[in-house]
Amino acid sequence: MIKKIPNILSITRMVLSVVLIFVAMFKNVWIFIPLYLICGMTDIADGKIARHFKVESKLGEKLDSFGDVMVIVAALVCTLFIFEVEKQWARLIWVGAVILLRLANAIIAKIKFNVFNNIHTYGTKLVGAFAFLLVLVFIIAKEFNYAVIIAGSVFSLIMCAEETALLFVIDEYDVNIKGFLFKDYKKKGQAVQAESAAGAGESLDGSECKCDCGCDCHDGESKESENNENKD
């Protein structure tokens, strides 16, 4: 049962994101805020529970990413409804660019690694937290600031561009890569190379394989033994 809890929380967040839009259409802020906070808490809880009980899964990663995107998009739409600026989409082209780049990254991951998902770098996590809190601040303060939206979108584009670069650099997909500054993507690549070397019957120092796998690596040793016997 515990294994299903993170996925249930992610699905709940996806459903609530749709409910938020209907609530915003009626401009009911006091219903919107608690539902929005529940979405945020489920975003934190699903990952924490999955890591604590070691029940992380590929499906869970996908649901978590989809849930995050749905909440952010829903929050933006809700904000436009609440502040009656739904006709101002042209001024929010930066936000659209961020969403499209995130989608493009998921497509790149699908093509290269057969995984339709986004990497959860520290940068993208920061972007998600910033966007979540920004919408909440706007609604509570009853003021929609386009300058802050544009500045946040530019920062988001930079963080998404980092994810794009990582997808072209890494040799194996890992949803939890922290980012270029932490250089953990290099460690992942070295681990993959070491695993490949071990699978080929080679040790990390380049010496011959000493395993009992029945591979051809023992031929050299057998020939050397025969030569020594002939000499004797």
Nearest-CA neighbor of 9 among 74, 64, 62, 65?
Answer: 64
State the pLDDT at residue 61. 84
pLDDT at 226 over 60: no
- Residue 56 is predicted with a pLDDT of 86
Domain ranges of the chain: 1-87, 88-199, 200-231
Give DSSP secondary structure letters for 14-69: HHHHHHHHHHHHTT-HHHHHHHHHHHHHHHHHHHHHHHHTT---HHHHHHHHHHHH
Residue-wise pLDDT for 19-73, tens only, equals: 998 888 888 888 989 999 999 999 889 988 988 888 888 888 888 888 888 888 8
- Count CB neighbours of 190 within 10 A: 12
From the list 47, 81, 40, the residue with the least C-alpha distance to 64 is 47
The pTM assigned to this predicted structure is 0.70
pLDDT digits 0-9 by tens, 178-210: 888 887 677 655 555 555 555 555 444 455 455
